[in-house]
Structure 1
Amino acid sequence: MKIKFILFLFSIVWLAIIIRVFFLSVESNTYYEQLSYNNTVKIEEIAPVRGEIVDKNNKAIAINKLGFKIQLSPHLRSKKNINQFNNEIDILTKLLPSLDRNKIIKNYKKVDSYYNHNYIDIVQFVSYEEIMPVYSILNLRENISIIPAPKRFYPYKEIGSHIVGYVSRANKRDIKDDNLIELIGYTGKTGIENYYNTYLQGLAGKREIKVNANNQEVEELSNKEAIEDRKVILNVDIELQKYISSLFVNQSGAVIVMGVDGAILSASSFPEYDLNTFVNGVSIETWNKLSNSIEKPFTNKLIHGLYPPGSTIKTGLGLIYITTDVSPYWSVDCVASMPLGKRIFRCWKKDGHRKTDLKKAIRESCDDYFYKGSIQVGIKKMSEGLNRYGLGKKTGVDLPNEFIGTVPSREWKRKKYNQPWYIGETVNTSIGQGDFLVTPMQMAQFTALMATSKLPRPYIAKKVGDNEIKPDLEDVLTEKELKRLPTIQKAMYEVCNYPSGTATNYLSSKVKIAGKTGTAQVVGILQDIDKRELEHEMEYYTRSHAWFTSYGPYTNPQYVVLVMVEHGGHGGAAAGTIVSNIYNKLLELEYIK
């Protein structure tokens, strides 16, 4: 019995040894092969070169400035190599005096560790002109590596800053969302640079090399090139953009020049700022100066600026009125004020407009007509119609984080404030005041609808690689609205061409245009004030925002031109000259035939 037990035990031991030998020699082969491979073969990812952004005439708006990144071998701070480390730093700062010794050491310390065997980035960018005289000397040094590292450059600086956007160093959140950004180190932060970032940054290449025990390259096994230099072509004419910037000196606001199909020829938010400031990281002093400015240069007012539309909204509301509960021939007797409950709603004209129909109400911007019309139509039909016309929702323009604004309604107020709706709020909404808020981009889209009966999606990019962006036009008007739209268009023509039109006296355009002015109050007027203070007599930041939105030529609409001047006062007076100059420039550049 003992012999059988010993033989059984002996068999079990040998079986265990055989199984272990089999596992080590056969089953673990793949694992140890991979381990061996990882120890001898190194995979290097190749950062792609970011694509350029050009205007419609192929003028460079965002390009890559040629330069180099400087790297240093790891493990040079050990006791054994510290003298060598200091020597390399001395040589670098001597040959390239612009380098900061302390910053180089700080960058090296951040990454250097016993486990890191890759060269360490110590200088992110040195220009081609600076490094070329000493390139051959540095390139011969074994511990220094110089590799191409283009830097984003914006030749037009601040021109079109809010639509072009900028790239800057990636943060942890950026890297978390995209591994390629960690390799590149930069990402698009705003504007087109951000919206089309995935396309512009391209795809990484991959280089597979065999290394020895000292991590030195022995052989290149494979090389897959990066997909790079992807170009984005814009609809924008940068020279027109530059011209418009020259018209908007020392003012805040927004200007949009858009084809009636939605293609944006120029779009500016003022004040602008130099995009190159942000590429390598902005200083705290500059950041504070810009971010604390009362003019808000960082705010993209085209899509993030929320303003009361004022009287510019009267064209759309007029169309809603005469296609719902108000006859096209209905008129009011404007005596400059309308009592309602405990309030008095005033018309802007001190003596009133007297007998006023729709065309006169739009032409001379009579508030009383729209007050009384809103009571007949009601906020439900008003808000539903305005939403259908594109307000209170995103336009779909290719810019990041577009705001939607507010078209007030009973449902909106109940949801936001849990309060009932009052008829006085309906009256306020009828002249684009109260809680009514829009962006300039929405108003440009809205104006294109009034001009052509089609609601376009605004778009800045003309071509992204081989993909050409096509116009996207939506039919949103009812059959009845289509029939009555010419009445609105005729009234908009009279705004700019009749002696009593609110814009006529301020225009010198060689193109026959149609449009609507607007004066959007930013402060309320007390009920016991008999005589309103004139805009130019008011403190600057209490003055109304000035709107002028237009299209032209009147008989063959091709372009929408919208100008909004913050605290500009009366729309025609503040913006008429700018609008005229833009149309004349469009004529000069042969955009309008």
Structure 2
Amino acid sequence: MKIRLIIIFLVIFTIVITLLSRVYFLSIKSNTYYEELSKNNYINRVNKIPIRGIIEDRNGEKLAINEMGFTILIKPHLSSYKYKEQLENIIDLIVKHFPKYEKEKLLKEYKKADSSYNHDFIEIIDYIPYDEFFSKYTILASKEDIKIESSTKRYYPQKEVASHIIGYVGKASKIDILNNELSSFNGIIGKNGLEKYYNTKLQGEMGYKDVKVNALNKEIEILDEKEPSIDNNIKITLDINLQKYIQEIFTGKSGAVIVMDAKNGEILSAASFPEFDNNIFARGISVKEWNDMRNDFNHPFTNKIINGLYPPGSVIKMGVALSFLENNIKDNFNVNCSGSITIGNRNFRCWKSTGHGNVGFRKAIAESCDDFFYKGSLKIGINKISSTLDKLGFGQQTGVDQINEFFGVNPNKEWKEKKYNQPWYVGETVISSIGQGNVLVTPLQIARYTSYIATGKLPKPHFYKATYEEPKELDIPLEYLDVLRKGMYDVSYAAKGTASKHINSKITIASKTGTAQVVSIPQSEKVRMKESELQYYQRSHAWITTYAPFKNPQYVVTVIEEHGGHGGEAAGDIASKIYDRLYELGYITSEE
């Protein structure tokens, strides 16, 4: 009997506890949840989308702006047969005033987005320019089935000038939206160049307005409000007028040009040729435009400043000479260049078939004697050369504020073992010493390393001062640089300097030319074919890298002309003109 009573009491106790727990949950724990539901019933949040920031050059010239316009939206739930005529009348009205749009395409766009679950107006035209739309505004805005909203479209007033650096915006993809919530509201995101690198800064921060509404969804009171950010602009280091000038003197050529402050890494001009108009991406590129550019052998899509990988040819020789000095080859080291050196069964030729005679460091740089670097490289080996080049930034990203910068290739024994599972051969050492073989660089790496030779410090190239870092000092004795600088002076001004016939500027320029072979020369060819006799795409790339003024280095100018032939002949005049323009613009104040 007692056991039965205990069981009954336990059952009653359990039921009471369960009821009390449920009452507690309904009256207290779920209160927060229902409060939130209640809030959602009477509070609407209206998002305020920030206007994308403007990009300006160092002098305030506009490089990327926003043009005002309008978006057209149509009331939802008109796709059914019942409202077919009503929908078609609306579309007919729009096409009547904007005949460039096709009725069938607009209907298809509407029906694709319309569903019983969607209660928002449906966008069918994303942007019509202000001037084109304004006279029609009253006609369309008066229709209750049509909604007009203000809109902006990115515009690049300089068109193709500096297009690779500025970049462009495009429609945000699903992946973009997952990674960047704001892009789901404004529909665009930076896709390339500075537009992508500084997208967070340029797009700004969202604002909002919390509004109390009644049962009819009419606004009663503003409860909270935050304005979107307005400090979204960036001013960069480019001088767009200098960039335009460089574009003029590089007309019809393919390659890259960089003008950089040798002391702090500010980039005044960075041009990759051929260029393209960024506006075709902002408005939507056609299939024909895409195919034409994609199939162009000169690769207009490639930002050659950071993504062009080239053999450096002889412009690497100062770095290799620095490695000789670093590794106990004395500055009085001399070789007798007879025009070639034989290693095993292969003959490695100097570019001058008759030879340069007795050659030391200064003459080797001035006259670009290959044999000097062949013989010096055999003394120290590829690993030591690679170690010095590594300090100078080869095989590394420069850190410039651009996306997807390439590393290049600074080869050594370990690199080849990892990449090809093969041993390193002595012949590869000698061809690497003159910037051929597996060595690959970007033009910006060459400009940066030239800055080090000029100033004794390695800067970080940049377009926006927010990314500035103090130039690095390297553990290389600075007295070694004097030998290299004198050789570069002789390149421009000694009788047999490789650029002496082509440097023609009021500014005293130190330079180094390079001719980077695109195709190898057969051993059987005794007399090398002239560049002009080769097919265009078989001709060597022409390099020149320079700094000036010689006594007080301020700027570096690096030029590569693809398939241009000999460096001095193809690029020397271009570099000279750029320095004269820097002088005219007041960037250089001393001629020496």
TM range (shorter): over 0.9
Deviation at 1:130, TM superposition (A): 1.2
Amino acid at match of 2:470: D
For 2:81 and 2:47, the matched residues in 1 are separated by: 32
> Aligned ranges for residues 533-572 of structure 1 at < 5 Å?
533-572=529-568
Could you give the per-residue CA deviations for residues 278-298 of structure 1, whole angstroms, max 9, x where no partner exists?
013211111111111111000
For 1:98 and 1:221, the matched residues in 2 are separated by: 44
SS of corresponding position for 1:109: helix
Could you give the per-residue CA deviations for residues 533-571 of structure 1, whole angstroms, max 9, x where no partner exists?
001111111110000000000000000001100010000
Deviation at 1:208, TM superposition (A): 2.1
SS of corresponding position for 1:236: coil
Answer whether contact 2:395 2:409 (CA < 8 A) is retained. yes
| Cα distance change, pair 21–590 in 1 and its aligned pair in 2 (3 A) | same
* 1:465 alignment counterpart: none
Amino acid at match of 1:183: F
Is 1:493 the counterpart of 2:489? The answer is yes
For 2:438 and 2:342, the matched residues in 1 are separated by: 21
What RMSD in Å do the two structures reach over aligned CA positions? 2.2
For 1:393 and 1:4, the matched residues in 2 are separated by: 81
Answer whether contact 1:201 1:228 (CA < 8 A) is retained. no
Structure 2, unaligned stretches of length 5 or more? none
* 1:188 alignment counterpart: 190
* 1:327 alignment counterpart: 330
Could you give the per-residue CA deviations for residues 312-362 of structure 1, whole angstroms, max 9, x where no partner exists?
011111122123232211111111110110100000012111111111110
Deviation at 1:30, TM superposition (A): 2.5
* 1:69 alignment counterpart: 71
Is 1:472 the counterpart of 2:470? The answer is yes
Residue 426 (structure 1) aligned to one of 408, 424, 429: 429
Answer whether contact 2:460 2:468 (CA < 8 A) is retained. no
Answer whether contact 1:111 1:120 (CA < 8 A) is retained. yes
* 2:374 alignment counterpart: 371
Is 1:514 the counterpart of 2:505? The answer is no
Could you give the per-residue CA deviations for residues 112-165 of structure 1, whole angstroms, max 9, x where no partner exists?
222222222221111110111121232232232222211100001000011111
Answer whether contact 1:68 1:126 (CA < 8 A) is retained. yes
> Aligned ranges for residues 197-236 of structure 1 at < 5 Å?
197-211=199-213, 217=219, 219-228=221-230, 230-236=232-238
Could you give the per-residue CA deviations for residues 163-216 of structure 1, whole angstroms, max 9, x where no partner exists?
111111111221121111111111111111111011101111112234556656
Answer whether contact 1:319 1:484 (CA < 8 A) is retained. yes
Residue 310 (structure 1) aligned to one of 304, 313, 333: 313
For 1:210 and 1:293, the matched residues in 2 are separated by: 58
* 1:154 alignment counterpart: 156
For 1:87 and 1:562, the matched residues in 2 are separated by: 61
> Aligned ranges for residues 524-539 of structure 1 at < 5 Å?
524-539=520-535
Deviation at 1:45, TM superposition (A): 2.0
Deviation at 1:19, TM superposition (A): 5.5
> Aligned ranges for residues 114-513 of structure 1 at < 5 Å?
114-211=116-213, 217=219, 219-228=221-230, 230-260=232-262, 261-462=264-465, 468-479=466-477, 482-513=478-509
Could you give the per-residue CA deviations for residues 197-252 of structure 1, whole angstroms, max 9, x where no partner exists?
11101111112234556656555433321113511101100000001001111111
| Cα distance change, pair 399–496 in 1 and its aligned pair in 2 (3 A) | same
| Cα distance change, pair 78–221 in 1 and its aligned pair in 2 (3 A) | farther
| Cα distance change, pair 12–494 in 1 and its aligned pair in 2 (3 A) | closer
For 2:381 and 2:491, the matched residues in 1 are separated by: 26
For 2:438 and 2:242, the matched residues in 1 are separated by: 35
For 1:15 and 1:514, the matched residues in 2 are separated by: 92
Answer whether contact 2:366 2:488 (CA < 8 A) is retained. yes
Question: Which 10-residue stretch deviates more, 170-179 or 147-156?
Answer: 170-179
Amino acid at match of 1:572: G
Structure 1, unaligned stretches of length 5 or more? 463-467
| Cα distance change, pair 216–82 in 1 and its aligned pair in 2 (3 A) | farther
For 1:264 and 1:485, the matched residues in 2 are separated by: 23
SS of corresponding position for 2:445: helix
Amino acid at match of 1:271: P
SS of corresponding position for 1:44: strand
* 2:37 alignment counterpart: 35
Deviation at 1:263, TM superposition (A): 0.4
Could you give the per-residue CA deviations for residues 388-446 of structure 1, whole angstroms, max 9, x where no partner exists?
11111010111011001001100100111111111111001110000000000000001
Could you give the per-residue CA deviations for residues 445-478 of structure 1, whole angstroms, max 9, x where no partner exists?
010011111000000113xxxxx55452001142
Could you give the per-residue CA deviations for residues 44-85 of structure 1, whole angstroms, max 9, x where no partner exists?
322211000000000000000111222222222245544332
* 2:581 alignment counterpart: 585
For 2:10 and 2:407, the matched residues in 1 are separated by: 82
For 2:584 and 2:55, the matched residues in 1 are separated by: 25
SS of corresponding position for 1:456: coil
Amino acid at match of 2:409: T
For 1:254 and 1:133, the matched residues in 2 are separated by: 46
| Cα distance change, pair 15–589 in 1 and its aligned pair in 2 (3 A) | closer
| Cα distance change, pair 374–215 in 1 and its aligned pair in 2 (3 A) | same
Answer whether contact 1:117 1:215 (CA < 8 A) is retained. no
Could you give the per-residue CA deviations for residues 252-283 of structure 1, whole angstroms, max 9, x where no partner exists?
10000000021000000000000000013211
* 1:97 alignment counterpart: 99
Could you give the per-residue CA deviations for residues 505-530 of structure 1, whole angstroms, max 9, x where no partner exists?
01211100001000000111111110
Answer whether contact 2:322 2:388 (CA < 8 A) is retained. no
Answer whether contact 1:325 1:376 (CA < 8 A) is retained. no
Aligned length: 586
TM-score, normalised to structure 2, is 0.95
Answer whether contact 1:50 1:229 (CA < 8 A) is retained. no
| Cα distance change, pair 119–211 in 1 and its aligned pair in 2 (3 A) | farther
Answer whether contact 1:263 1:471 (CA < 8 A) is retained. no
Amino acid at match of 2:333: W
> Aligned ranges for residues 5-16 of structure 1 at < 5 Å?
none
Amino acid at match of 1:367: D
Answer whether contact 1:257 1:560 (CA < 8 A) is retained. yes
Answer whether contact 2:69 2:129 (CA < 8 A) is retained. yes
TM-score, normalised to structure 1, is 0.94
Amino acid at match of 1:472: E
For 2:7 and 2:378, the matched residues in 1 are separated by: 106
Answer whether contact 2:443 2:560 (CA < 8 A) is retained. yes
Could you give the per-residue CA deviations for residues 32-52 of structure 1, whole angstroms, max 9, x where no partner exists?
222232233322322211000
Question: Which 10-residue stretch deviates more, 328-337 or 468-477?
Answer: 468-477
